[in-house]
Structure 1
């Protein structure tokens, strides 16, 4: 009796699906690693004694390194291929994990976070473009690009918070595990297919540049507020979320510090899945509205020091985070042809990470001088204003999809 063998298209389809999944895993690990230090900052502060301003500076140098690579190498994979960029970036990320393992003072934290930012920035454009290149159903790449980063941030923050509370050597163990995971991922990526054809111009692509396809700038600016407002809120939680829980709500527990980030980003990941079949405009409008209401409730909770309201409002804000960013990411990436996706994705994430880092750095400095409650209030009002602007911008050009 003859045994049926898979046809070449079936095999190619399975290989493509496996490659897509592996790239999604790489993105998850990168975001897990990005949030891993957040619950540990309180441990580092107790060990080495540094101020909230130093804490946010350590956070900000990561984003600075990331932005440098996004702007200079964000489009590189359009020319040399996705695999070379991804493998190199993942190996560099593993190197940053080693620096965390070896860290003996705050200087090591700066070095580790800078290298981590450079590696993540190099990988971001290539990963996001590869997910769209390798998707077998339209929209899957955008969904994974939206849901996976928030899921990684969520699991990283809560998982490390649990390690701090219950595991030995919390400042070492998580980075050792991530080091092994990144090296394994880099090796596996070597055996995946290359989704794009190499072409000349790689050296020219390294010149600092941002790329929006010709004739699409106005449409991009329309969706820009919806891209940046979720990450502006995320920056507050990842840099000062732990301080809000401890200093204002009075909950001195490492798990609670990770939980608040988990609630925001985990709900964001779940929201991306829940609204995946919505029209992008509806996702952005509903999401920005939920985000604004959630942040307003957070401010009330902080004013009266009522923890249950704070956590519930964080969940609502997290839903707005995920829905808004999914709709915005789908709309923005649809503006570029396949050969120019990495450059546009680099532009998208440059905007997102600037909104993620600069306000949070300013908040860290402000908290040192005017206090955390005042800083949180003004930061929250800024996020609410951006959310309203996102809704207005979408209403002004309802035909942009």
Structure 2
């Protein structure tokens, strides 16, 4: 008599990246999102030359991205704390692929604006989860790694995205080249996230987390409030360069090269990335305080260069403001990140990005509305004065605490 024995099915072991690799994957994807965010700025002028739409639509296309991103941050920013980082990132990467394809196939400025909206939603959903994942995966014995990656990745991404897109305008079919490359990058990112480990245990409340609001962990609230002017100064500078610098170079200084525009747009974030790297071992509050000072000092130099038509003076001011950009961003992340528990990091970073993108987007929208009434250069001068005020406010809140507790003991 034959006997029948049942064997349990053998499950294939899931392949997952080690956590030490996952931290770099998340930083790389964060870099790609910010590179893609900067790339349209030089390319908007290509679209404008092809379709001949008014200047204010360039500012609208820029500003609507920030509005869509803010909406996504408010709605999805805390979701990864409940359902995990991977599902949120997979969805955001798919949306970003859709946005890149819309840019690639756009036949009119309306589709470009739609692409910018989709891109804003994808970036808003991704940025908080990516910054939280970087902090989750960073080795405990390397305390400066997470703030460093969370600062250098977006700043270098903004720089490389603007430069690469600007260089692409010097060759044939720049829109095709740029957005096919980004589509490929984000498809690779999808595969990398699928192979990454999950760093969060799912917990109830996912539905409630979708109700739009800003929620900051209790332990981080006091520092978060003190950090607001620093973040505002940093991201008003970022918005200034992405929203108006290309137009100033073209309309005021007579630049006709997309590559030159790309280099100047990228200057502030490129110098910022370098400053973040070299300041990585400074205490976080030192970076926040002196970053604010450098922004307040650098922006008047930039405005002087624009008003005197001096490329050298603009470059010097950009170096100073860019160093402040990088140090201020690194300092803010370094102050706040240790104050959140693992399941609070998504909401903390989303709250921080809400402040960042309000500062990034609102002045740009206002500038776009004022250019027709007051002219380009007077509007840009007012924009720059706002940067200086924000930098001084950040320094006023951070410097007294720095001197009270000492430079070496400052967190």
TM-score band by shorter chain is over 0.9
Look up the match of 1:8.
none
Structure-to-structure mapping, 1:232-247, within 5 angstroms:
232-247=236-251
Look up the match of 2:204.
200
What's the CA shift for 1:382?
A: 0.9
Asked if 1 retains the 8 angstrom alpha-carbon contact of 2:104 and 2:180, the reply is: yes
Alpha-carbon spacing, 1:277–1:113, altered in 2? closer, same or farther (3 Å) = same
Look up the match of 2:363.
359
Gaps of 5+ in 1: 1-11
Asked if 1 retains the 8 angstrom alpha-carbon contact of 2:298 and 2:321, the reply is: yes
Asked if 1 retains the 8 angstrom alpha-carbon contact of 2:219 and 2:340, the reply is: no
Question: Residue by residue, what CA displacement relative to the aligned partner does 1:230-260 show, whole Å, maximum 9, x if unpaired?
Answer: 1101101101110111122222211111011
Q: Does 1:295 align with 2:299?
A: yes
Q: Does 1:68 align with 2:66?
A: no
Look up the match of 2:60.
57
Q: Does 1:156 align with 2:161?
A: yes
Look up the match of 2:107.
104
Please say which of residues 213-222 and 247-256 is displaced more in the overlay.
Answer: 213-222
Asked if 2 retains the 8 angstrom alpha-carbon contact of 1:227 and 1:329, the reply is: no
Look up the match of 2:21.
18
Look up the match of 1:231.
235
Look up the match of 1:172.
176
Counterparts of 1:38 and 1:147, CA distance in 2: 20
What's the CA shift for 1:396?
A: 4.3
Look up the match of 1:253.
257
Secondary structure of residue in 2 paired with 1:151? helix
Counterparts of 1:28 and 1:66, CA distance in 2: 16
- 1:394 alignment partner, one of 391, 395, 398: 398
Look up the match of 1:324.
328
Question: Residue by residue, what CA displacement relative to the aligned partner does 1:8-55 show, whole Å, maximum 9, x if unpaired?
Answer: xxxx99711111111111111101110110011111111112222111
Counterparts of 2:311 and 2:371, CA distance in 1: 20
Asked if 1 retains the 8 angstrom alpha-carbon contact of 2:104 and 2:179, the reply is: yes
Question: Residue by residue, what CA displacement relative to the aligned partner does 1:89-146 show, whole Å, maximum 9, x if unpaired?
Answer: 1111011101111100011011100000001111111100000000012121111111
What's the CA shift for 1:337?
A: 1.5
Alpha-carbon spacing, 1:181–1:13, altered in 2? closer, same or farther (3 Å) = closer
Gaps of 5+ in 2: 1-14
Counterparts of 1:277 and 1:397, CA distance in 2: 19
Q: Does 1:276 align with 2:280?
A: yes
Secondary structure of residue in 2 paired with 1:334? helix
Counterparts of 2:18 and 2:336, CA distance in 1: 28
Question: Residue by residue, what CA displacement relative to the aligned partner does 1:46-90 show, whole Å, maximum 9, x if unpaired?
Answer: 111222211111011111111111001101000100111111111
Counterparts of 2:17 and 2:361, CA distance in 1: 39
Question: Residue by residue, what CA displacement relative to the aligned partner does 1:334-392 show, whole Å, maximum 9, x if unpaired?
Answer: 32222101001100000000100110111122112111110111111111111011011
Asked if 2 retains the 8 angstrom alpha-carbon contact of 1:292 and 1:387, the reply is: yes
Counterparts of 1:254 and 1:375, CA distance in 2: 23
Counterparts of 1:243 and 1:216, CA distance in 2: 39
What's the CA shift for 1:217?
A: 2.6
Alpha-carbon spacing, 1:24–1:215, altered in 2? closer, same or farther (3 Å) = closer
Counterparts of 2:145 and 2:17, CA distance in 1: 16
Counterparts of 1:37 and 1:26, CA distance in 2: 18
TM-score by structure 2 length? Answer: 0.92
Q: Does 1:142 align with 2:147?
A: yes
Q: Does 1:86 align with 2:89?
A: yes
Q: Does 1:314 align with 2:355?
A: no
Asked if 2 retains the 8 angstrom alpha-carbon contact of 1:52 and 1:365, the reply is: no
Asked if 1 retains the 8 angstrom alpha-carbon contact of 2:16 and 2:197, the reply is: no
Counterparts of 1:127 and 1:214, CA distance in 2: 22
What's the CA shift for 1:197?
A: 0.8
Look up the match of 1:3.
none
Alpha-carbon spacing, 1:83–1:323, altered in 2? closer, same or farther (3 Å) = same
Count of residue pairs the alignment pairs up: 389
Asked if 2 retains the 8 angstrom alpha-carbon contact of 1:210 and 1:347, the reply is: yes
Asked if 2 retains the 8 angstrom alpha-carbon contact of 1:53 and 1:361, the reply is: no
Asked if 1 retains the 8 angstrom alpha-carbon contact of 2:31 and 2:154, the reply is: yes
